[in-house]
Structure 1
Amino acid sequence: MTDLIRHFLRGEGRDGQGRRLAEVLAFDDARLEAVHDFIQWLFPLPDPSQAVPGSPVLGAAEAAAIRADPRAQAGLRAALERMAGFYAATDHWLVRHDHNHRRITRIIAAARDLLDRDEAAAFHAAISARNAEAGGVIDPVSLRYWERALA
Structure 2
Amino acid sequence: MTAGPIHAFLAGIGRDGAGRRLSDVLAFDEARIEGVHDFIQWCFPLREASRAVAGAPVLTRAEAEAIRADPVARAGLLAGRDRMMWFYATTTSWLRAHDHNHLRITRILHALRHLLGPEEARAFHAFVRDRNAEAGGPVNANTLDYWAKALAGD
Q: TM-score range by the shorter chain?
A: over 0.9
Paired residue total:
151
The Cα of 1:11 is off from its aligned counterpart by 0.3
Per-residue Cα deviation, 1:76-133 (whole angstroms, up to 9, x for no partner): 0000111011000000000000000000000011001101111111111010001101
1:119 paired residue number: 120
1:99 paired residue number: 100
The Cα of 1:53 is off from its aligned counterpart by 1.1
TM-score of the superposed pair, with normalisation by structure 2: 0.96
2:62 paired residue number: 61
1:5 paired residue number: 6
2:45 paired residue number: 44
Structure 2 residues not aligned, in runs of 5+: none
Percent identical pairs in the alignment equals 61
2:144 paired residue number: 143
The Cα of 1:144 is off from its aligned counterpart by 0.8
1:32 paired residue number: 33
Cα distance in structure 1, aligned partners of 2:110 and 2:30: 22
Cα distance in structure 1, aligned partners of 2:141 and 2:53: 24
Aligned residues: CA RMSD = 1.1
Structure 1 residues not aligned, in runs of 5+: none
User: Aligned partner of 2:15: which letter?
Assistant: R
User: Aligned partner of 2:149: which letter?
Assistant: R
User: Aligned partner of 1:103: which letter?
Assistant: R
Is the partner of 1:15 in helix, strand or coil? coil
The Cα of 1:30 is off from its aligned counterpart by 1.1
The Cα of 1:134 is off from its aligned counterpart by 1.1
Ranges of 4+ aligned residues in structure 1 off by more than 4 Å: none
User: Aligned partner of 1:110: which letter?
Assistant: A
Cα distance in structure 2, aligned partners of 1:90 and 1:67: 30
The Cα of 1:73 is off from its aligned counterpart by 0.4
Cα distance in structure 2, aligned partners of 1:45 and 1:141: 21
TM-score of the superposed pair, with normalisation by structure 1: 0.98
User: Aligned partner of 2:150: which letter?
Assistant: A
The Cα of 1:32 is off from its aligned counterpart by 0.2
